[in-house]
Structure 1
């Protein structure tokens, strides 16, 4: 460590440049991680708020809530600790000219999936809804009259809940009478026993239902089947993994060049009795210092950037995930330095000093 630190102090500019490159790569890794987490949140925020273990859909719906249609009396076929019926449709909300994609959920306000009201009150009457607080940034307020595409009914926002989005769309919650009227219009009276599924709490997901027309899906499996969710996460994660590999290559190249430049010095040191193991530890320690400083600065810059980004940018920094990536980054950088260690071990003192 003494040799590593001494060399860094004597060659500040050279090692500052190496640290700068590592910092930029680390910054990009952390920012992509925040973007991946943020985009995940956009898709699953509402589902996470249910605190459910599974969702029951029709077997032919392919794990899609929107494609699942079943009669309400299917609840009698379920065995669980708690069951909450749910209906869902996607629409465009028009609030006095302000248009916004939304996801409308119909629920029983006494069920366990009813969200906490943070402003205003809960829906009680027909055509009343509570909205995700994310709609405030789109100028939606309590008392606003909202029309949904495909319906002439006018909804009144009576309250706001904590941020809730489903497939990136802000959520509105209402009762089933409102849902049937909006979805079926004049035919609502003949379709008022249909819903999309049941959200359940149960320790035994495999035995929730024996009905062959129904499928109990663990909540994580349901989320992973949301349109674009898995593909999006896989793409961003691959980008992060490639950046980690690139960082190892960068470290390997920089340190190898530095090692080649110092072959004569290393040869003299080995001729004086300094072991290859000591020199190797010095290179590894040097790499650790550079990578640690680069990661620390990159993390600080990423968190600072997050404070100044507009709400429209879906970036959410999860500190445990960032620290995990930071640790992996340092380990990968050290692995990259082993190429230089191999070169040091192979140095012949006599040849290195011209003997």
Structure 2
């Protein structure tokens, strides 16, 4: 470690370049991980807010809430501690020049799907809604009357809640009767028992229903089947994994070039009795120091960048995950020193010093 640190101090520019490259790679890895987490949250925030263990959908829905259609009477077929019915509709909400894709949730106010109100009040009358707080950033306010692309009914925002987006769309919560009026219009009375799913809280999700037309789906499985969720997550994760490999290759190339340039010096040191294992440990320690410094700087820069990003950028930093990625970066960078170690071991002192 002493030899490694002394060489770093002596050749500051050379090792600063290596540290800078590692810093940029780590910065990109941390930022991509924040982007992956942020985009995932956009899809699942409202579902996580349920704090549920499972959801009951029709067997033919392919685990899709909008494609599931059932009767509220089918609650009798569910054996669970807590249940909550939900209706769901995708639409475009407009207020003046403001337009926004939204997901409308029809719920019962006394059931656990009722969101906490952070501003305003809960819905009480027909066509009143609680909206996700992200709509405020788009110019929507309390008291705004919204028109929906799929209905002639107008909805009034009476409250806001936090962290309520479903499939990247802000959620509007309203009561079931208003939901039926919006979805079915004049046919609402004939369809006032229609819902899309039943959300369940129970210690066990097996044998929740014996109805062959219904399917019990674990919440995490339901989230993974949201349109684009898994594909988006896999794409960003593969980019991160490729960066790990790139980091290892870059460090290996830099250290190998430096080692080749110092072959004569290593030959003299070996001729003086310094063992190959000592020199190898010095190179590995040197790599760990550089990787640690570069990763820490990248970590700090990522957090600073995140503080200045506009709210429209869907970035959310999971500190525990970032620390894990940081440790992996240090490990793969250190693994990149293997080629240099092999070169040191093969150095013949006599040939290295021209004997």
Shorter-normalised TM-score: what interval?
Answer: over 0.9
- Once the two structures are TM-superposed, the CA of residue 95 in structure 1 deviates from its matched residue by 1.1
Aligned to 2:126: 126
- Once the two structures are TM-superposed, the CA of residue 45 in structure 1 deviates from its matched residue by 0.4
Q: Does the 8 Å CA contact 2:49/2:163 hold for their aligned counterparts?
A: no
State the distance in 1 between where 2:29 and 2:8 align. Answer: 25
Aligned to 1:335: 335
State the distance in 2 between where 1:138 and 1:313 align. Answer: 13
Q: Does the 8 Å CA contact 2:251/2:337 hold for their aligned counterparts?
A: yes
State the distance in 2 between where 1:3 and 1:294 align. Answer: 20
SS at match of 2:86: strand
State the distance in 1 between where 2:215 and 2:345 align. Answer: 61
Aligned to 1:351: 351
SS at match of 2:88: strand
State the distance in 2 between where 1:146 and 1:155 align. Answer: 5
State the distance in 1 between where 2:202 and 2:241 align. Answer: 36
- Once the two structures are TM-superposed, the CA of residue 284 in structure 1 deviates from its matched residue by 0.6
Aligned to 2:193: 193
**2:273 aligned with 1:251:** no
Encode CA deviations 1:1-55: one digit per residue, 9 max, x unaligned: 0000000000000000110011001100011001000000000000000000000
Compute the TM-score of the two structures, normalised by the length of structure 2. Answer: 0.99
State the distance in 2 between where 1:163 and 1:212 align. Answer: 34
- Once the two structures are TM-superposed, the CA of residue 163 in structure 1 deviates from its matched residue by 2.4
State the distance in 2 between where 1:342 and 1:207 align. Answer: 59
SS at match of 2:337: helix
State the distance in 1 between where 2:83 and 2:295 align. Answer: 46
Find runs of 4+ consecutive structure 1 residues off by over 4 angstroms.
Answer: none
Query: Once superposed, what is the RMSD of the aligned Cα atoms?
Result: 0.6
State the distance in 2 between where 1:113 and 1:340 align. Answer: 59
Taking the TM superposition and a 5 Å limit, the aligned residue runs for 1:251-270 are 251-270=251-270
Aligned to 2:42: 42
Aligned to 2:165: 165
Taking the TM superposition and a 5 Å limit, the aligned residue runs for 1:102-181 are 102-181=102-181
Compute the TM-score of the two structures, normalised by the length of structure 1. Answer: 0.99
Aligned to 1:293: 293
Aligned residues: 355
Encode CA deviations 1:75-120: one digit per residue, 9 max, x unaligned: 0001111000000000000112210000000111111121111111
- Once the two structures are TM-superposed, the CA of residue 139 in structure 1 deviates from its matched residue by 1.2
